[in-house]
A and B are shown apart, each in its own frame.
Chain A
Amino acid sequence: MSKRFRVLVLSALFVLVSVVGPLWAQEAAAPAATQTEIAAQAAAAPEAPKAAATGTKLEKAIAMAPVGTEAGQIDPAKPIGFLGIPGAPQINPLIALLWAVWVGWIFSTVGAFGGVMAGVGHVTVFGLGAYAKGFKSTAPDLNKTVTDSIRASNQFLVGLSALISSINYGKMGRLVLPLGLALGAGSLLGAWGSATLTAGKVSFSAYQGWFGFFVLALGCYLLWETSPAGQAKKVKAKQAAQAFEAAVKAQRTGGGPAPTGVKILGITFSKVQFTFCGVEFSFNPILPVVGGVVISALAAFLGVGGGFLLVPFLTSITQLPMYLAAGTSALAVLVSMITSILTLMTKGTPVDWVLIGTEMVGVAIGSIVGPHTSKYFSDKLLKRLFIILAFYVGIDYVLKGFFNIRVIEMLFG
């Protein structure tokens, strides 16, 4: 592990611990346990299973919800479901696994859309969205707590990618330290600010609306990519790359070896200009910080990964090579992911570990199957499929979240 990476990781950890230190700290009102209690608990025979994650916040939210058999009420006689709440949706482990296989398959074939599908699974397929929404007027705290749990669950799935790349690419010293620090600081601030300001305050409807808005934007981007203009740009880059590869193979690249090293041409608050091997590069140093804040705040709020936004952002503003962009952005995403998950959990957001574990296995299976099966589907066909999905999910979630209108009802009455 390179020294720079070690310093960066330690600095990030220090800041993280300072910010999210109160995590796992016991609330003052709770009685303190003695050490003997630990052993006693450990030695005791397994008791009847309690709620998957009975955070104090969840218990309070459940206690404040009206008791009854109707929608928006909690019926203690019903079997416990999601997060150990009586009457909450019973998530079938097989469906959870299969949906996660689909998420993993998308991750490995398309990339960005996996996070969206993870969200759709939690919200629609597992029925958690409708369940949370049912408490909108009767028990707003429960509505918001379940919403936060959905956000945290999404982030556990998509945040894995950041962890993987941080470890792999950080070990290789593929980090641009000043840029990594700027992005990391921005990400920490953005994710912490976003999670702190929104934890326990976002109703499911608002979350669904904004999630839909994000999916629509993603759909528009995918549509542009498949448009003649988007395709032409891609084909042009491919041709230029192939032409250069052919020239290198034929050793006809022309000219002698380029000048080596970095030469700084000028540094101002708005522009850093330098040459690398005689090629001129420039970027605005404020942009990485602002970009880090905005992207991580958005990712933390929606419960999606930020890597797919951060890598193109880095590449376009600094023209950073893949070798460095991947590692540098990964660390920023990792800081953002850990910060937002820990901040949410600090605020008492409960997490269903069994569900997360089942989904993780599914994502792994899908990611492994994906590369083998994607050859049977053309890139174009896959993109078009996801454009349709993105527009359907985006429009449906925006209308449902902000206006309480269902697309199917609107179309077919």
Chain B
Amino acid sequence: METLRNILLMMDPLFIWGFRLFDHPWGGFMAGLAVLSLLCVVTGDFTSHLARRLNRKVYGKYRDEMVLQHNLSVEALKHSDKDAYKAVNRQAHEAFGKYFFSQAGAFTLSIWPLPFAMAWLDIRFGGIPITLPFSVPGVGDSVFYPFFFLPIYIAVRILYGRIMRRFPFYQRILGWSKHGNDTQMVPFMDLLKPSAGESSGKAEGHAQPASEQKGAPRS
């Protein structure tokens, strides 16, 4: 592990420059944390999309199976068939498990730089108390670096996602790493709508395609 710590130290000039953007102590500290967060988010996002692209066939297969079983369970409820519902729901849970863990790997690749950033911050700022301009109830007036870094990382990650989605090139990246067919999960809330019974007659026997589920989010 000492080797990895030495590598982190070698990369010190890359990580520290953000902290020197402003002369003001707080400005420099916050800017540095924001730059470091952005570096983590961009690196993680790149590796995650690459993994999704390389695995899109496997992920797509798992996802389609999960969606199919789920939609069948909704279909079973539409027909008041509890036995079929329980059986299909069990299958849906199994398919979900496989899909879920496949996505876990891809997600982990999006946050892997975070602990390394924490390790570098620990080398730099570990154990140094930072005095707050005011006292926070339950926290006091003195905190350590994670108090600022983690919220900033989360904020940068959310902002990055929202901003990048506006760019056509990023939309193309999202499409490049997309997996599975366009069939969406049928929300159970549809079964509560008065028209569900009628529409179920029309769509009977078919898992509803994405086009019929406008606005339904993709996982």
State whether these chains interact: yes
- Footprint of B on A, CB under 8 Å? 17-18, 21-26, 30-39, 41-43, 46, 49-54, 79-80, 82, 90-91, 93, 96, 104, 107-108, 111, 156, 160-161, 163-165, 168-169, 171-173, 236-241, 243-245, 248-251, 253-262, 276-280, 311, 315, 319, 321-326, 352-358, 360-361, 363-368, 370-372
Residues 182-204 of B contacting A (Cβ, < 8 Å) = 185, 187-188, 191-194, 196-198, 200-201, 204
Interface contact B97-A111, CB-CB below 8 Å: yes
Q: B88 near A24 (CB under 8 angstroms)? A: no
**Cα(A361)–Cα(B129), bound, Å:** 30
A32 in contact with B91 given A38-B25, A108-B105, A258-B197 (CB within 8 Å): no
Q: How many A-B residue pairs have CB under 8 A?
A: 315
CA gap between A366 and B88 in the complex, in Å: 29
A241 touches B51 (CB 8 A): no
CB pair B16 A42 closer than 8 Å: yes
Say yes or no: B143 contacts A322, CB within 8 Å: no
- Smallest beta-carbon distance A231→chain B, Å: 14
Band of interface residues on B: 35 or more
Which of A31, A49, A368 has a CB less than 8 Å from the CB of B55? A368
Name the B residues within 8 Å of A257 (CB-CB). Answer: 78-79, 196-198, 200-201
Chain B residues at the A interface, C-beta cutoff of 8 Å: 1-6, 8-9, 12, 16, 19-20, 25-26, 28-29, 32, 51, 54-55, 58-59, 62, 66, 69-70, 72-93, 96-98, 100-109, 111-116, 118-119, 122-131, 136-144, 146-147, 185, 187-188, 191-194, 196-198, 200-201, 204-205, 217, 219
In the complex, which of the residues A31, A164, A165, A255 contacts B80, with contact meaning CB atoms closer than 8 Å? A255
Contacts of B4 in A (CB 8 A): 93, 354, 357-358
Across-interface contacts of B3 in A (CB, < 8 A):
93
CA distance in complex: A89, B12 (Å): 26
CB <8 Å contact, A107 and B197:
no
B104 touches A367 (CB 8 A): yes
Do B2 and A90 have beta carbons less than 8 Å apart? yes
